[in-house]
């Protein structure tokens, strides 16, 4: 059995680790490229949302490299993601690929279901529950570490003296984390990481503009789709924070609700005057996080969504009011297969200019007020 | 007290219930005007531009009610069937309206959530009673009256093959004469699509009118029994969680399987999430497995009527050609 799964940012690192620790062979889809996109677009329903299409591209490229089993998350709605797997299964079948598709339906209070599906994969390899727990813990630790280096990098990027150095370090660290084979090695790697980061020379007293990124999870997490927005903003001297990291996604989608952190719910309260209930995906959360970023003193927020993304369209209706009430500039960027790097950079620059300008005005107001 | 009901979205599904319920409670029910140019214009002006056409039109209908009513009924429709949803935009509809239109009358946005079971309709009804400050017994009385009217409405559509608009607009002679048996030779078209698209004469550019003028016998999801839909949906490998999508696939697969229609027209809104996946599933099956002509009509505010008509005419020509050949074969064969 040669397992593969779709890309979404760095999620391939913990997933590969998990399946390999369970004795499966993993074939990673090559990183998303233009070709992935083209394959996906050519073989998916025209009006499906972008993540579905790129998934298809990933699958085809992985199958071509020998994968015969696809692991995919499922869902119970209300959004399209919950039906992705079924549609993708049909597409691949119609294309004549002979692959097995294992769709992990979210537990909804039934955590055992998930364990059973994973066990199905593992018993073939003579693994016990204990092995499974160990594998899960190891993968989880890697995910935490990845989130950690991502957060550190976005702090360093706007402050680095030698441009591009942070990314170099970051990329090599991701590779290191991917290759680590056991938990003790992971512990030693932690030291290596702080050493590597401390070597990056930075402008100590620089206080960069701070921008939060919210929106639909796939577009937030997958740099290929969001045209590397975090890196681009870093180059423009902006410190970037996201509302969601990989570990958040796992917590939300794969853990039973009693294990979810409490502040999740509290934060959603912030959205209620504007979006009063769950609207699928991260629609309500996007609004809550805009409020939250504003409260934490951020200078602006960028809202990302794929073209026709339903929950985020609902969220978008609330943005003008929220932005006005909390005096925080918000720019919405709709991404689709035609998004081009050129115009994108200009838009980012204009937005950052605007933020800097209004920040200056604010500062002057404060100064003259004194 | 005047309560406004936008003539859009679930008006086409629930109007008999809503009207009887509120009138029984002594409220005056005021409908917005039938969709027209002005309503579309207001909808486009107020609504976020990424939304689908029916949601935009809904905004226009709400705007149309401003100044004419004391409150507007925009229930938060989370679910109308156990374990199913409509779509994220329905979940957030009252919010979208509040976020986008200022100075509107009070919005009655009581939640309608039958996800955990049909009996939760009572929660909705009783909460409405609380908001309207009306005693429980009166509310329940009105509810029973309304549900009766609603059932009659649904039954009539199935028995007589008529549309919600035929009934609501009381086209009585038409309904009386509407029986398929007399005209066995007419072309039968399965018209798929969400009720608020196909029955809104303005949005659908008079599609039903035009089909009837060509003497086409129409079947829509509303004219099909629940058990037929259920039978059709057995073909799905995983249960769909969108009520409207499930109605569409069930109807389509049922008729495809029984070879009872000459062609299928699927009307979808541009940018509709559920239909982007559901439509694809059906179109593929219809064309590949059953070789039944399939016309996909995508609606948005830019769709021009001329192009729409041309495509429709061409499609009907194909159906007529096929029918002709079939008839000849059966006469001579
Ligand atoms: S959240 Fe958006 S991108 Fe994700 S499935 Fe739903 S519509 Fe598609
Ligand atoms: S047309 Fe589709 S996307 Fe629009 S409201 Fe209806 S189900 Fe939702």
What tens digit of pLDDT does each residue of A306-340 get? 999 999 999 999 999 999 999 999 999 999 988 87
Ligand 1 centroid to Cα of residue A225, in Å, is: 14
A369 confidence band (pLDDT: 50, 70, 90): low
Vertex B203: Cα angle to B197 and B208 (nearest 5): 70
In chain A, count H helices and then E strands: 15, 8
Long-range CB pairs of A264-272 (<8 Å, 24+ gap) are A267/A292, A271/A318
| Beta carbons within 10 angstroms of residue B80's beta carbon | 20
Using the atom order of ligand 1, give the atom closest to the CA of residue A51: 3
Whether A126 has a pLDDT exceeding 80, the answer reads no
Same domain for A341 and A315? Answer: yes
Confidence of residue B185 (pLDDT cuts 50, 70, 90): confident
**Taking CB atoms and a 6 Å cutoff, what residues make up the pocket around ligand 1?**
A 49, 51, 79-81, 216, 281, 306, 309-311; B 273
Mutate to test the pocket of ligand 2, among B8, B49, B87 (most ligand atoms within 8 A of CB): B87
Angle subtended at Cα B27 by Cα B115 and Cα B80, rounded to the nearest 5 degrees:
10
B164 touches chain A (CB under 8 A): no
Least confidently predicted of A42-56, A208-222, B179-193, B252-266: B179-193
Q: Of the residues A203, A237, A262, which one is the last residue of a structural domain?
A: A203
Query: Which residue, among B15, B12, B3, has the nearest Cα to B65 in the 3D structure?
Result: B3
pLDDT value at B268 more than 90: yes
For residue B277, the CA-to-ligand 2 centroid distance in Å is: 12
Question: Whose alpha carbon is nearest atom 3 of ligand 2?
Answer: B272
Find the distance separating the first CA and the last CA of chain A, reported in whole Å: 70
| Residue to test with chain B: of A100, A219, A282, A313, most B Cβ within 10 A | A313
Mutate to test the interface with B, among A78, A104, A105, A110 (most CBs of B within 10 A): A78
Q: Which helix (H) or strand (E) holds A243?
A: none
CA distances (Å), B244 to each of A309, B18, B273, in order?
A: 18, 20, 12
CATH (one of 3.40.50.11900, 3.40.50.2300, 3.40.50.10490, 3.30.1330.10) for B161-327? 3.40.50.11900
Q: How far is the CA of A82 from the centre of ligand 2 (A)?
A: 16
Q: Kindly determine whether residue A279 and residue B92, on different chains, have CB atoms separated by under 8 Å.
A: yes
Specify whether A138 is located in the same domain as A121: no
Residue nearest to atom 8 of ligand 2 (CA): B87
Do B92 and A45 make contact, defined as CB atoms within 8 angstroms? Answer: no
Domain boundary among A203, A231, A258: A203
One domain for residues A314 and A284: yes
Q: What angle in degrees, to the nearest 10, is found between the helix axes of A129-156 and A183-198?
A: 0
| B275 neighbors B240 (Cβ within 8 angstroms) | no
Question: A45, B274: Cβ pair inside 8 Å?
Answer: no
B2-153 matches B161-327 in fold: yes
- Average model confidence (pLDDT) for chain B? 93
ipTM above 0.95, yes or no: no
Say whether residue B78 is in contact with chain A using an 8 A CB cutoff. yes
- CATH number of domain containing A227: 3.40.50.11900
Band (B288; pLDDT cuts 50, 70, 90): confident
Q: Which CATH number fits domain B2-153: 3.40.50, 1.10.3470, 1.10.287, 2.60.40?
A: 3.40.50
Contact criterion met (CB < 8 Å) for B87 and A310: yes
- Rounded average pLDDT over A78-83: 91
pLDDT for the residue numbered B333:
47
How many residues in total does chain A contain? 370
pLDDT band at residue A150 under the 50/70/90 scheme: very high
Q: Give the domain range for residue A79.
A: 2-125
Query: Which residues of chain B are within 8 Å of residue A80 when distances are taken between CB atoms?
Result: 273-274, 276-277
* A268–chain B Cβ distance below 8 A for any pair: no
Q: Which of A117-126, A243-252, A308-317, B232-241 has the lowest mean pLDDT?
A: A117-126
Ligand 2 in contact with B52 (CB < 6 A)?
yes
Which span out of A133-147, A356-370, B99-113, B163-177 was modeled with the highest average pLDDT?
B99-113
CB contact set of B133 (below 8 Å; sequence gap of 6+): none
Location of structure tokens 């309207």:
B132
Q: Which atom of ligand 1 is nearest the CA belonging to A216?
A: 1
Provide the residue ranges of all domains of chain B, joining segments of one domain with +: 2-153, 161-327
Report the C-alpha gap between A369 and A73 in whole angstroms.
Answer: 55
- Collect all residues of chain B within an 8 Å Cβ-Cβ radius of residue A45: 276-277, 279-280
Mean pLDDT of B34-50: 96
How many CB atoms are closer than 10 A to CB A195? 9
For residue A250, pLDDT beyond 80: no
Q: Is there a contact between B95 and A274 if contact means CB atoms under 8 Å apart?
A: yes
- B2 C-beta closer than 6 A to ligand 2: no
Asked if B111 lies within 8 A of A277 by C-beta distance, the reply is yes
Best residue among A6, A82, A311, A333 to mutate for probing ligand 1, ranked by most atoms within 8 Å of CB: A311
B2 touches chain A (CB under 8 A): no
Q: Does B51 touch chain A (CB under 8 A)?
A: yes
Q: How far is CA B237 from the centre of its chain?
A: 25
> Both A24 and A138 in a single domain?
no
pLDDT at B186: 86
Residue A296, burial from CB neighbour count under 10 angstroms (0-12, 13-18, 19+):
exposed
Look-up: residue for tokens 């309904």?
A: B175
List the one residue out of B257, B167, B161, B169 whose CA is nearest residue B218. Answer: B161
The residue that leads in pLDDT, B228 or B290, is B228
- Tell which of B74, B86, B91 to mutate to test the A interface (max A CBs under 10 Å): B91
Arithmetic mean of pLDDT over chain A: 89
Cβ atoms of residues A6 and A108 within 8 Å: no
Q: Are B51 and B271 in contact (CB under 8 A)?
A: yes
pLDDT digits 0-9 by tens, B2-12: 999 999 999 99
Task: Report pLDDT for A109.
Answer: 45
- Asked if B30 has any chain A CB less than 8 Å from its own CB, the reply is no
Considering only residues B264 and A102, tell me which one the structure prediction assigns the higher pLDDT: B264
Residue appearing with tokens 């509310």: B139
Same domain, A317 and A353: yes
- Long-range contacts of the stretch B22-26 (C-beta < 8 A, 24+): B22/B73, B22/B142, B24/B141, B24/B142, B24/B145, B24/B146, B25/B132, B25/B134, B25/B138, B25/B139, B25/B142, B26/B1
State the pTM of this model.
0.93
- Residue range B157-183: average pLDDT? 84
A308 and A263 in one domain? yes
Judge whether A86 is closer than 8 Å to chain B, CB to CB. Answer: yes
Distances B159 to A145, B171, B222, B224, B225 between C-alpha atoms, Å: 63, 15, 10, 9, 9
Question: For residues A210-224, b (16+ Cβ closer than 10 Å) or e, as one string?
Answer: bbbbbbbbbbbbbbe
Is A229 in the same domain as A362?
yes
A78–B92 CB contact, under 8 Å: no
Strand partners, A104: A73
The nearest alpha carbon in chain A to B270 belongs to A47
Same domain, A253 and A337: yes
Cβ atoms of A159 and A208 within 8 Å: the answer is yes
Tell whether A168 and A316 lie within a shared domain: no
Using the Cβ of B76 and the Cβ atoms of chain A, whether some distance falls under 8 Å is answered with yes
Atom of ligand 2 minimally distant from the CA of A310: 3
User: Which of A119-123, A238-242, A244-248, A320-324 has the weakest average pLDDT?
Assistant: A119-123
pLDDT-derived band of residue B182, with 50, 70 and 90 as boundaries? low
Confidence of residue A244 (pLDDT cuts 50, 70, 90): confident
CA distance B237 to chain A (A): 8
Of residues A74, A76, A78, nearest to B91 (C-beta) = A78
Task: Calculate how far, in angstroms, residue A52's C-alpha sits from the geometric centre of ligand 1.
Answer: 9
Please tell me the predicted confidence (pLDDT) of residue A259: 58
- The closest of B194, A264, A16, A293 to A302, measured between CA atoms, is A293
Q: What CATH number corresponds to the domain at position A91?
A: 3.40.50.11890
Q: Do B87 and A90 count as a contact with CB atoms less than 8 A apart?
A: no
B92/chain A closest Cα distance in angstroms = 6
- Into how many domains does chain A fold? 3
Q: Say if CB A324 and CB A227 are below 8 A apart.
A: no
Q: Which atom of ligand 2 is nearest to the CA of B275?
A: 2
Contacts of B280 in chain A (CB under 8 A): 45, 48, 87
Query: Is residue A231 domain-shared with residue A152, that is, in the same domain?
Result: no
């Amino acid at each position: 059995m040669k397992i593969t799964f779709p890309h979404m940012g760095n999620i391939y690192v913990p997933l590969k680790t998990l399946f390999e620790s369970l004795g499966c062979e993993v074939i990673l889809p090559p990183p998303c490229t233009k070709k992935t996109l083209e394959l996906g677009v050519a073989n998916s329903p025209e009006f499906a949302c972008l993540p579905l299409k790129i998934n298809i591209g990933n699958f085809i490229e992985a199958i071509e490299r020998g994968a015969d089993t696809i692991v995919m998350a499922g869902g119970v709605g209300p959004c399209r993601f919950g039906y992705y797997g079924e549609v993708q299964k049909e597409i691949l079948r119609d294309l004549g690929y002979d692959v097995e598709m294992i769709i992990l339906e979210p537990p909804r209070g039934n955590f055992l279901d998930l364990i059973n599906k994973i066990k199905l994969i593992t018993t073939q390899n003579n693994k016990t529950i204990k092995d499974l727990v160990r594998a899960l813990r190891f993968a989880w630790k890697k995910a935490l570490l990845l989130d950690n280096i991502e957060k550190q990098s976005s702090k360093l990027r706007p402050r680095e003296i030698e441009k591009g150095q942070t990314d170099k370090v970051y990329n090599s660290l991701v590779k290191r984390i991917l290759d680590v084979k056991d938990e003790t090695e992971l512990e030693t790697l932690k030291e290596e990481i702080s050493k590597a980061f401390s070597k990056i020379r930075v402008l100590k007293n620089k206080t960069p503009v701070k921008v939060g990124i919210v929106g639909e999870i796939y577009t937030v997490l997958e740099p290929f789709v969001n045209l590397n927005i975090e890196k681009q903003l870093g180059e423009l001297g902006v410190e970037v924070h996201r509302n969601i990291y990989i570990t958040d996604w796992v917590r939300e989608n794969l853990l039973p609700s009693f294990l979810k952190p409490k502040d999740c719910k509290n934060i959603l309260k912030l959205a209620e005057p504007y979006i009063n209930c769950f609207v699928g995906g991260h629609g309500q959360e996007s609004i809550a996080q805009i409020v939250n970023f504003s409260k934490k003193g951020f200078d602006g927020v960028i809202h990302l969504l794929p073209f026709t993304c339903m929950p985020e369209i609902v969220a978008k209706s609330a943005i003008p009011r929220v932005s006005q009430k909390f005096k925080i500039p918000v720019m919405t960027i709709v991404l689709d297969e035609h998004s081009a790097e050129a115009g994108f950079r200009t838009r980012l620059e204009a937005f950052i200019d605007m933020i800097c300008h209004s920040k200056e005005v604010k500062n002057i107001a404060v100064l003259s007020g004194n | 007290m005047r309560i406004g009901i936008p003539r859009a979205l679930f008006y086409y599904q629930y109007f008999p219930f809503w009207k009887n319920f509120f009138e029984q409670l002594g409220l005056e029910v005021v409908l917005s005007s039938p969709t027209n140019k002005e309503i579309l214009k207001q909808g486009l002006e107020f609504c976020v531009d990424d939304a689908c056409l029916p949601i935009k039109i809904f905004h226009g209908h709400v705007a149309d009610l401003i100044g004419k009513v004391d409150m507007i009924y925009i229930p938060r429709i989370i679910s109308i069937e156990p374990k199913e949803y409509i779509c994220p935009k329905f979940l957030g509809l009252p919010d979208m309206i509040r976020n986008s239109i200022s100075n509107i009358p009070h919005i009655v946005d009581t939640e309608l959530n039958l996800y955990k079971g049909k009996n939760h309709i009572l929660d909705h009804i009783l909460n409405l009673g609380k908001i309207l400050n009306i005693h429980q017994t009166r509310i329940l009385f009105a509810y029973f009256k309304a549900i009766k009217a609603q059932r009659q409405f649904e039954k009539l559509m199935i028995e007589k093959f008529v549309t919600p608009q035929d009934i609501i607009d009381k086209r009585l002679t038409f309904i009386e004469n509407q029986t398929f048996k007399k005209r066995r030779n007419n072309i039968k078209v399965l018209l798929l699509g969400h009720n608020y698209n196909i029955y809104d004469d303005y949005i659908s550019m008079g599609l039903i009118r035009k089909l009837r003028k060509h003497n086409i016998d129409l079947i829509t999801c509303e004219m099909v029994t629940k058990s037929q839909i259920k039978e059709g949906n057995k073909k799905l490998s995983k249960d769909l969680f969108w009520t409207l999508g499930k109605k569409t696939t069930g109807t389509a697969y049922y008729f495809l399987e029984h070879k009872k229609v000459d062609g299928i027209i699927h009307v979808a809104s541009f940018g509709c999430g559920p239909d982007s996946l559901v439509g694809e599933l059906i179109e593929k099956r219809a064309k590949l497995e059953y070789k039944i002509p399939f016309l996909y009509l995508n609606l948005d505010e830019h769709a021009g009527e001329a192009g729409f008509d041309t495509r429709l005419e061409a499609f009907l020509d194909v159906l007529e050609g096929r029918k002709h050949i079939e008839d000849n074969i059966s006469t001579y064969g």
